[in-house]
Amino acid sequence: MLERLDRGLYRLTDLPPLSDPDLVTVGNKIPKGVICLISALHFRDITTQIPHAVSVAVSRGAEPPRLEHPPIQLYWFSGEAFSAGVETHRIDNTRVQVYNAEKTLADCFKYRNKIGMDTVLEALTLYRDQCKPKPRKLIEYAKVCRVEKVMRPYLQAIL
């Protein structure tokens, strides 16, 4: 009758399958966490990358969450870098916080050495093609993430 998703997290087996079980689990187990980087790009369909772990931003100084499944990659953000650009979405009746597209792109530039510049440029190109670009918002979040000088030439060339 019940299906175990994670320690202390169950759901009825009669319910239809979850549309995104990893994000639902993270939303339930890490309610103050925010989906970021590759996972946020994937959520917004502005990447062809398939995340191997759910990228989660947590506030600096918070206790690290413990999850058996799904695998998570933690990123410690502080101050405005953590709180800016957060949107709340409902996925299968679960509240999940995800950074908006512009903040996600600024974060990707900040972590470009970890996720790869090819992934960042692909996301920026798909953002341009699939969304209505908001250059002012991109620059605003680039300032928050302290990557304005790095991002500006790419924005001028691609947008």
pLDDT in tens, 69-94: 889 999 999 999 999 999 999 988 88
Instruction: Identify which has the larger pLDDT, 18 or 3.
Output: 3
Distance CA 75, CA 158 (A): 28
Distance CA 94, CA 106 (A): 26
pLDDT value, residue 21: 79
Q: Which residues contact 99 (CB under 8 A, 6 or more apart)?
A: 34, 35, 36, 40, 57, 85, 86, 87, 107
Long-range CB contacts (< 8 A, 24+ apart) of 125-132?
125/158, 126/45, 126/46, 126/47, 126/48, 127/46, 127/101, 128/158, 128/159, 130/45, 130/46, 131/46, 131/101
Return mean pLDDT, the chain.
90
Between 49 and 69, the more confident residue is 49
What SS3 class is residue 2?
A: strand
| Domains in the chain with CATH codes | 2-158 (3.30.460)
Give the tens place of pLDDT for each residue, 111-140: 999 999 999 999 999 999 999 999 999 999
Q: How distant, in Å, are the alpha carbons of 8, 116, 137 from that of 32?
A: 17, 27, 24
